[in-house]
Structure 1
Amino acid sequence: MDLFGSALPENANRPRHHLVVTRVDEHDFGWVYFYNARDFAETQDHEHSLVGNAPVIVDRQNYGLYSTGTARPIEHYVEEFRSGIRHPL
C-alpha cells in the first residue's frame, strides 16, 4: 500500500490490506489494472473498500507502471497515456 501513497504511512496502527486485481482492461498499448482490498472483493461491503485506488497502466513495450487518477473516468487517463502524457509510478 505504501508504494501507492497510503494516506497514513506513519500510522503503525493502520490496517493491513491484502490487494487483489478486480479487473483488467487490455488496450493496444498495454493493460489497465483495477484493484481493491481483498475483503471488499469478497464481500462487496463498502466498509472494506479502498478510497483513491486509481487504476495502474502497464505499458506493453517496457512493462513500465504508470498511475492514473480517480477524478475523471478511466477513458480520460487512457487517452492521456495514448497522447504521451505519462505518470510513472
Structure 2
Amino acid sequence: MLSEKELINIAIDYIKTFEKEIGRELIIPKELMIKKNYGIYFIYHSKIYYETKDWKYKLIGNAPFLVENKMGKIIEFGTSRSLDHYIQEYEASRYP
C-alpha cells in the first residue's frame, strides 16, 4: 500500500503532464483533497486562478481524479456531475 506522500507525488506528476498543453502552472490544493481508505481524490486548478480567484484564469475540463493507494492507479472522473456523485459510483463499483 502506498503512503499519502507517494499518492500526492503521483498526483503532482500526473497534472504536470497537462501544464504544457494548458500553458499554466497547475496546483492541487491540500484542502480540496478527499482522503479515503482506498486512496485520495484530487482536484486541481491553475495556480493563478487559485491565488487570485479571477474567473478569467479558471480552467475548463479539469476533471477530478482518484489515486488508489493499492498500486497508484489513476482514475479520472468527468466534469458533468459533482465529485460526490463520482465517489458514490466508485464506491458502489459502478465506475471503471
Structures share fold, TM-score greater than 0.5: yes
Asked if 1:64 corresponds to 2:77, the answer is no
Determine which structure has the larger helix proportion and give its number. 2
- State whether residues 29 and 82 of structure 1, in contact with CA within 8 Å, keep that contact through their aligned partners in structure 2: no
Match of 1:12 in 2: none
Q: Identify which of structures 1 and 2 has the higher relative contact order when contacts are C-alpha pairs closer than 8 Å and 6+ apart.
A: 2
Structure 2: which 5+ runs fail to align? 1-14
Choose 1 or 2 for highest CA Rg. 1
Indicate the SS of the match to 2:42: strand
Counterpart selection for 1:40 from 38, 49, 53: 49
* Number of aligned residues: 78
Determine which structure has the larger strand proportion and give its number. 1
Alpha-carbon distance between aligned partners in 2 of 1:46 and 1:2, rounded to the nearest angstrom: 22
Match of 1:16 in 2: 23
Stretches of 4+ aligned residues off by more than 6 angstroms = none
Structure 1: which 5+ runs fail to align? 10-14
Indicate the SS of the match to 2:84: helix
Alpha-carbon distance between aligned partners in 2 of 1:83 and 1:17, rounded to the nearest angstrom: 35
Q: Following TM superposition, by how much is the alpha carbon of 1:2 offset from its aligned partner in structure 2, in angstroms?
A: 9.2
Q: Alignment identity in percent?
A: 25
Q: Following TM superposition, by how much is the alpha carbon of 1:83 offset from its aligned partner in structure 2, in angstroms?
A: 2.6
